[in-house]
Structure 1
Amino acid sequence: MCQKFVTTSDSVDLDRAIELTGYGRFHYEILAVSALSIVSMGFQNGLSSYVFPAAQCDLNLTSYELGILNMAFMIGGIASCFLWGALADNFGRKNILILAHFIDATVTLVCSVLPGSFVLLVCRFLNGFIVGAPGSIIFTYVAEFQPPKYKTPMVCCCGVFFTLSWLLLPLMAYFILPIQGINFNIANTFIMVPWRFFLIILTLPEFLVTIWLLKTPETPKFHFAKGNHRECLEVLKTMYSRNTGNHPENYPVRKLATDMKMEIQNDVVCEGKSQRILRNMVKQIKSLFVSPLLKVTFLTCFIMFGNMFGMFGLGLWLPEIFVRFDQFEKLYPNATPSIKELSQLTNEKNISCESTFDSTVTFNTVVIGSTSLFINIICSLLATKLHFKIIPLTAMLVGGVSSGIFYFLTSSMQNLVVASIFQAGMIIANMTIGSIAVELYPTSVVGIGLSLIMFSGRLGAMTSSYLFGYFMDTRCEIPIFVVAFVVLLGGVVGFFVPRQSEYAKRRKISTASSGIEVAVLSHNGEIKFR
């Protein structure tokens, strides 16, 4: 039978039930496995800055072709955005995360040993397609185990691990890419060189996440939203037992005050399982584009578009800019370079093709990662004291201003300072924009909502990657100023994000008047409040 959901008010509500599980070992384990998932995701998002320059010599790639490879990853992410969120809302966050990490690691493993730039292009598309799952779901998975006061701080805390991944990548590249002993070719079908071995190393965290997630439960909020209250209560008992060390049956909650009670719907014909899931996906997507969620959807999507336009456009080219500053200073020790001269450097001089980064460039990228990590930790601590939208919007404005300054840089030291500020702002904003969605979207559509937001972000990243690839060797001031404008505009638009969801507002009004609130996802896709 089909269902609709009605609130009762005679038991403990879910948020209070989660608070009563305590806070301890269980939550730390969820944070740990989620952190490893985010690090793996960060590796996939950032590896092009380190693997592709090393592969450029082997595969004879131009800057334009490197931009196309970056685009392939983003196009893959765009193609799967709605798929993963909808599947997570229907089949569970945990199941989709396990599937995605296993397939993504397998694709990367295959890619690491097969020859040819076309194979690399296909693999990057598939990586982008699959890694969109943890990118859209993992923050929801973490947040749905948290008591209300810890949701935003924990999302910010997760952002620390994404930043950590971008710190670890150059360090790993520095030690692995120069290894000379890794070089063999079997019949031109099985090739192993340092940058390919580097790809294999990057699959290990994903395989570990796959195994670890098999031991963790589905979120209680997912079970609750599906009407599986017995399963929800069992997860809560497990959380309580792991956190306190007490027997699960000592958990004080016996019944949840549920928004959900079964009722017969005579006016709807119930389909088979596949049709029902498809219908539900369509309803969820439609609900994002009607009141009260339309404004939130538009604003958060635009902010994420601007963020990833900068982060995966200019951000992924930062190591290349460092390389060109270093090359220019070696060629012209007493000259002061401009960005325009740097962009034309490889066309004017026959620069030797290097498959690894020198120590100066590696040091610079590590400094950028360390700065981002330090500022991210501070923002995580501040998240409990500030409104959830303050941090991402401030970070966007800082990132927009710093990106415009790149055009006026004349030394590698200036580039290092500005790049550190820019990258820190972009990463912090990227991680915390998701907290806006977690706060403002209802549980029933938060997965698909985050997917839509990531779709917009990847569309921005794809556009920016093409822009930089096309102009990097000729007029790189064009994409730099475009990035500055788009990121700043995203920060300004963020001021119009509501401070509280319509659901929360109406729940307060309803609670004050009757103590009962009803949230119904209707047949035409709208979220109605009664």
Structure 2
Amino acid sequence: EHVPQKLTYEEAVERAFGLFHWLLLVVCGWANASDAVEILCVSFLLPTARCDLELSSSDMGLLTASIFLMMVGGYMWGYLADQKGRRRVLIMSLTVNGLFGGLASLAPWFWLFLLMRFISGIRVGGSLPVIFSYFSEFMPRLRRGAMISCLATFWMAGNILAALAWLVIPRTWVKFFLGTLEFKSWRVFVVLCSVPSISSALIFKLFMPESPKFLMEALAPIKKIFQSPFRSRSIPLLIIFYSISFYYGLWMWFPELFERTEDGGSPCANVSRPSVAANETCNTVKTAYTDGFITAAANLPGNIFTILVMDSTGGKALLGSLLLSSLSVFFIYVVQTKAQSLILSCIFSGVSVIAWNALDVVGTELYPTKLSSALGFFTGVGRVAAIMGNLVFGRLVDANCAVPILLVSALLLTGGLVGLLLPQTRQTELT
């Protein structure tokens, strides 16, 4: 008589690894790309939308920060994912994002556009950490580092999709009227950016199962991450998430900074006007968008590198790339030509993604499944840093551009050094 063999969770996942897991990578990757599109699309439409919405630099800083304003979103959605299930929360959050991201295109006033972006930000605060928890719980231990690195690579795909703004926004003939609202090319771009989220929600609703690890585990309150034995890893991780997320202030302003280098010189040398006249028209500089596209594509070498070495070196070692990121940001301030600015921005893009991918792996392996909402909490901390980074850039980019750029450099250096305090998690079993 055949006696069924008892397997541990890790053994069962390892034996079952196959085509489903690669399809899961594509589905979760598309959802991850939708987050990148939603976060970065505003930075690409600012040079044009600032005229229609009559934005000052401070207004633009507030608008780029709006996607991060739901600072408690990561914890709230993480808690719901622990209580209701990963799949259900992903469907809800992706739907909210696609719906309100698309509605933002109809906003005739700045305050309404800001409100729609804020509500969309509620969703992004939820899906980012949940996607990685959901995906990692299907992955076998020996393949987890490389597969999570592959998932993180889809963020680059989202960057590139958002950077395709240069195919849409400069087309001045792309416009029509909805009542009294002139629906220009940048509004069409906003609608297109909502498509990845809506399509991801439909795929999860129709085809994807719940995480098996979630179905097996009892859950613990989030406060335990700051109790023994997790306290020694939680505090350094909190500092790292804050340090690396603050750089969104720089990343979201790249298209604007590139536009300021069109006539040559440092991006900090050519300040924009503090406000825009109501009757002014924007003549979009197409090269500012193509530069953004090149910078987004510069993620590729870093992504390939992490996929190849993550399982052998572990995420902790790769967090050291924050030190190189810090150095590249420092030199962005001192460059004198547009070409130099673009080269250093590409270096920063290629190196910083290594640290982000490492953090995605480390964040899922440092805590047991019953504390998977910890990643949502730390993502919420990152939201606070991203808000501050965008607001600081908005306030100071015209008055003293050196301050926010050098502050990003200093924080990245701090994060790289604090990473040395984390334990090694290479090929750790999920518990």
For this structure pair, what is the TM-score category when the shorter chain's length is used for normalisation?
over 0.9
Alpha-carbon distance, 1:499 to partner: 1.5
Q: Any conservation in 1 of the 2:55–2:276 contact (CA below 8 Å)?
A: no
User: Partner of 2:241 in structure 1?
Assistant: 304
User: Partner of 1:128 in structure 2?
Assistant: 121
Q: Any conservation in 1 of the 2:149–2:310 contact (CA below 8 Å)?
A: yes
1:150 matches 2:143: yes
Indicate how the Cα distance of structure 1 residues 495 and 223 shifts in structure 2: closer, same or farther if over 3 A, else same: same
User: Partner of 2:250 in structure 1?
Assistant: 314
Q: Any conservation in 1 of the 2:243–2:385 contact (CA below 8 Å)?
A: yes
Q: How many Å separate the matches in 1 of 2:337 and 2:129? A: 38
User: Partner of 2:282 in structure 1?
Assistant: 354
TM-score under structure 1 length normalisation: 0.76
User: Partner of 1:287 in structure 2?
Assistant: 224
5 Å-filtered alignment, 1:269-284, equals 284=221
User: Partner of 2:93 in structure 1?
Assistant: 100
User: Partner of 1:221 in structure 2?
Assistant: 213
Indicate how the Cα distance of structure 1 residues 477 and 403 shifts in structure 2: closer, same or farther if over 3 A, else same: same
Q: Any conservation in 2 of the 1:36–1:209 contact (CA below 8 Å)?
A: yes
- 2:88 maps to amino acid: N
User: Partner of 1:444 in structure 2?
Assistant: 370
Q: Any conservation in 2 of the 1:170–1:365 contact (CA below 8 Å)?
A: yes
Alpha-carbon distance, 1:456 to partner: 1.3
- What secondary structure does 1:35 align onto? helix
* Equivalent position to 2:336, from 387, 410, 419: 410
User: Partner of 2:166 in structure 1?
Assistant: 174
5 Å-filtered alignment, 1:79-478, equals 79-171=72-164, 173-188=165-180, 190-214=181-205, 215-226=207-218, 284-310=221-247, 312-326=248-262, 328-329=263-264, 337-342=265-270, 344=271, 346=273, 354=282, 356-358=284-286, 360-391=287-318, 393-446=319-372, 448-478=373-403
Q: How many Å separate the matches in 2 of 1:355 and 1:72? A: 25
- 1:169 maps to amino acid: A
* Equivalent position to 1:72, from 49, 66, 70: 66
Q: How many Å separate the matches in 1 of 2:178 and 2:346? A: 42
- 2:27 maps to amino acid: V
Q: Unmatched 5+ residue regions in structure 2? A: none
Q: Any conservation in 2 of the 1:388–1:435 contact (CA below 8 Å)?
A: yes
User: Partner of 2:11 in structure 1?
Assistant: 16
Q: Any conservation in 2 of the 1:174–1:357 contact (CA below 8 Å)?
A: no
What is the percentage of aligned positions where both structures have the same residue?
26
Indicate how the Cα distance of structure 1 residues 305 and 109 shifts in structure 2: closer, same or farther if over 3 A, else same: same
Indicate how the Cα distance of structure 1 residues 500 and 159 shifts in structure 2: closer, same or farther if over 3 A, else same: closer
- What secondary structure does 1:75 align onto? coil
Q: How many Å separate the matches in 1 of 2:174 and 2:266? A: 38
Q: How many Å separate the matches in 1 of 2:137 and 2:411? A: 32
Alpha-carbon distance, 1:364 to partner: 1.9
- What secondary structure does 2:177 align onto? strand
- What secondary structure does 1:341 align onto? coil
Q: Any conservation in 2 of the 1:301–1:453 contact (CA below 8 Å)?
A: yes
Number of equivalent positions: 423
Q: Unmatched 5+ residue regions in structure 1? A: 1-9, 227-279, 330-336, 508-518, 520-530
Alpha-carbon distance, 1:338 to partner: 4.0
Q: Deviations over 1:30-74 (max 9, x none)?
A: 001111101100001111211222211101101110001122221
Indicate how the Cα distance of structure 1 residues 294 and 105 shifts in structure 2: closer, same or farther if over 3 A, else same: same
Q: How many Å separate the matches in 1 of 2:174 and 2:290? A: 24
User: Partner of 1:516 in structure 2?
Assistant: none
Alpha-carbon distance, 1:361 to partner: 2.3
Q: How many Å separate the matches in 2 of 1:317 and 1:353? A: 21
